[in-house]
Amino acid sequence: MQQHSESDQIQLDLQANSSIFHVLVGLTGSVAALKAPLLATKLLEIPGVEVRVVTTDHATHFYDINEVPVRVYTDKDEWEMWTMRSDPVLHIELRCWADLLLIAPLDANTLGKIASGICDNLLTCVVRAWDTSRPLLFCPAMNTAMWQHPITAQQVATLKSFGYVEIPCIAKKLICGDEGEGAMAEVSTIVDTVKQYIQKHPE
């Protein structure tokens, strides 16, 4: 039986298939990350779609990676994959593999990083290297007070100026007990939006 190293396995996982639409989901450190297993499951129900997930370390506080039904990449994978000059770089491999990047949830911290061009983890490196001819959708999710801070609107506008598409947050009673805007869009809304972009994708 042929043995594969972790680096080889990652490359096998990311082999391109032109007949499949590749959706890369980014998870950040919002409590809404607890919906990650459901979101991945619903995306997999779309015909002709393959899904992979990139998570920040903080996001894993809110969900169990083992409950996500697809391959989940972490910062640890990024550093373990590269050991010498000829090795592939994971955030570039992911950037090349994905037809669409969906960041759901996008917390206030990562929103600020992306708006400022900071790339200090696997997910933000993927974003910094992203091919802007391909769709990038983002779903803000944060406490109402954070959402209402003036800098949030500026940062969201900056992402939109890059050509990224916002799936707006909604108002509801948040996990913390506060009530108001800032909750991530419903999973059904997110999936329906992804479907719209898949329909626009050339065969």
Residues with catalytic roles: 176
Interatomic CA distance for residues 187 and 33, integer angstroms? 11
| Residues 6+ away with beta carbon under 8 Å from 71 | 13, 52, 53
* Neighbouring C-alpha atoms within 13 Å toward the C-beta of 185: 21
Nearest to 185 by CA among 168, 197, 166, 172: 168
Measured CA to CA in angstroms, residue 32 lies from 72, 97, 110 at distances of 17, 26, 14
